[in-house]
Amino acid sequence: MAELERPQIYLITPPSFSLDTFPATLSRVLAAHEVACIRLALASRDEDEVMRAADAVRVVAHEHDVALVIEDHIALVERHGLDGVHLTDGARSVRAARKALGPDAIVGAFCGASKHEGMNAGEAGADYVAFGPAGASALGHGARAEADLFAWWTEMIEVPVVAEGALDADLVAALAPKTDFFGIGAEIWAEDDPAAALGRLIAAMG
């Protein structure tokens, strides 16, 4: 197996944020570090709120030449000039999303800790598969995505993989040789200086 390049950063927004302050915070993080993609991951089901957030984050993302995907809201991708969708139901919606958005859009799938679900998502046309939580967390169904899963996936499967959920410096160091991306969000947004917090996690990759 060819040695993996250093994993890229896949930034995940907080589940709620102020449009008055978050875009500037996000911009500072993007100015400080190279980020491959941003996921707009709002908990809100208020479509107006989600649309306003999508527009605000898109402006910042595209100013920094970073792709922006939105969690689950397939219908908002083209309407708001986003780059794709991140699906939280594993492989279930991948084919429908690909059909709706076309071949050029990014379609990713969160598959918990299920190798089988990940393989199904990849076969259905997902551009990447995310497994998590990588650390101890209530994310998903509570089953951790262990290091062995990432090691097997990167060796056997060509579809890029994202490690996310309850990451810390030790986990980042351990998983860096085994994953293509780190999905980082809650780990940095509660810090006084999110850009510095991200820098510490990037440094842990070695």
Q: What is the pLDDT of residue 5?
A: 82
Length of the chain: 206
Q: What is the pLDDT of residue 1?
A: 30
Give the residue from 137, 189, 204, 197 showing the smallest Cα distance to 164. Answer: 137
Give the residue from 49, 107, 99, 48 showing the smallest Cα distance to 82. Answer: 107
Residue 1 lies inside a defined structural domain of this protein: no
Residue 110 lies inside a defined structural domain of this protein: yes
Q: What is the pLDDT of residue 184?
A: 98
| Alpha-carbon span 173 to 193, nearest angstrom | 21
Q: What is the pLDDT of residue 140?
A: 53
Q: What is the pLDDT of residue 138?
A: 61
Q: What is the CATH number of the domain that holds 62?
A: 3.20.20.70
Low-confidence ranges of the chain (pLDDT < 70): 1-4, 138-142
Residue 29 lies inside a defined structural domain of this protein: yes
Q: Residue 57 belongs to what domain range? A: 8-203
Q: What is the pLDDT of residue 2?
A: 39
Whether 74 and 97 have beta carbons less than 8 Å apart is answered as: yes
Residue 82 lies inside a defined structural domain of this protein: yes
Q: Kindly report the pTM of this predicted structure.
A: 0.96
Q: What is the pLDDT of residue 136?
A: 85
Residue 3 lies inside a defined structural domain of this protein: no
Domain count, the chain: 1
Residue 199 lies inside a defined structural domain of this protein: yes
**Cα four-point dihedral sign 44, 11, 25, 199:** positive
| Alpha-carbon span 196 to 188, nearest angstrom | 8
